[in-house]
């Protein structure tokens, strides 16, 4: 019931936001530069985009789409994502190591890409420079994928609540990334947990049914 209410509220918020964004975009295109700066039009547009991102994330948490399961390999998804992040990794001199068991899994590639993007984005942000990201796996009754980064670690005081909505240490963060990750993994019949975290780095583990 709460999920349905949140989804309806998000839709109702999104409609007037679209109208406001449309008028501000029109003003941004037609006003002189001096007036755009005076009325902070670019800043207003940026903040509306941020609100819209939060609303979209709320919708994902409240009513996530059912995964479209198709047999694929996790390694394929990881390599595709690392190709997209290659420039960012090179800029911060971050080395990525992948050692994944080649086991066919029934997963939604698009949703799993979103999961891994959120986790790797957090990893990259936690590393200042010259760091390491390792993605490896082991297989028993489930397919267990570990994502390690050599970043500064997750503060002890938020580790217990980091999968709850709006928990974040980032000044501009929404605190909705990890809850969305958790919901997607659970919709695949799996689990995600913080394996360990300290000043030496952080490791998450995702377990998926084979």
Per-residue pLDDT tens, the chain, 210 aa: give them.
666 677 777 778 878 888 898 999 999 899 898 888 888 898 899 888 888 877 776 766 666 677 889 999 999 999 999 988 988 899 999 999 999 999 999 999 988 998 999 999 989 998 988 899 999 999 999 999 999 999 888 888 787 877 777 666 665 556 677 888 998 999 999 999 998 888 889 999 999 999
Reduced to 3 states (helix: H, G, I; strand: E, B; else coil), residue 19 is: helix
Instruction: Give the pLDDT confidence score for residue 70 in this predicted structure.
Output: 94
Instruction: Give the pLDDT confidence score for residue 128 in this predicted structure.
Output: 85
The residues pairing with 207 across neighbouring beta strands, listed in sequence order, are 144, 191
- What b/e sequence results for 8-37 when a residue is b if at least 16 CB atoms lie within 10 Å of its CB, and e otherwise? eebeeeeeeeeeebeebeeeeeeeeeeebe
What would the two tokens of residue 77 be? 């998804």
């Amino acid at each position: 019931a709460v999920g349905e209410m949140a989804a309806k509220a998000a839709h109702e918020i999104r409609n007037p936001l679209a109208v406001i964004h449309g008028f501000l975009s029109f003003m941004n295109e037609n006003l002189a530069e001096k007036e755009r700066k005076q009325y902070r039009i670019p800043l207003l547009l940026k903040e509306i985009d941020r609100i819209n991102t939060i609303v979209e994330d709320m919708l994902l948490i409240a009513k996530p789409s059912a995964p479209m399961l198709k047999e694929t390999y996790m390694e394929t998804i990881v390599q595709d994502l690392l190709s997209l992040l290659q420039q960012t990794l090179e800029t911060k001199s971050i080395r990525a190591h992948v050692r994944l068991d080649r086991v066919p899994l029934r997963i939604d590639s698009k949703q799993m890409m979103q999961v891994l993007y959120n986790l790797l984005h957090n990893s990259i942000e936690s590393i200042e420079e010259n760091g390491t990201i390792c993605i490896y796996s082991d297989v028993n009754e489930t397919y267990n994928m570990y994502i390690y980064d050599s970043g500064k670690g997750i503060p002890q005081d938020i580790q217990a609540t980091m999968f709850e909505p709006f928990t974040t240490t980032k000044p501009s963060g929404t605190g909705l990334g990890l809850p969305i990750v958790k919901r997607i993994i659970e919709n695949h019949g799996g689990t995600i947990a913080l394996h360990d975290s300290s000043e030496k780095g952080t490791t998450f583990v995702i377990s998926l049914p084979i």
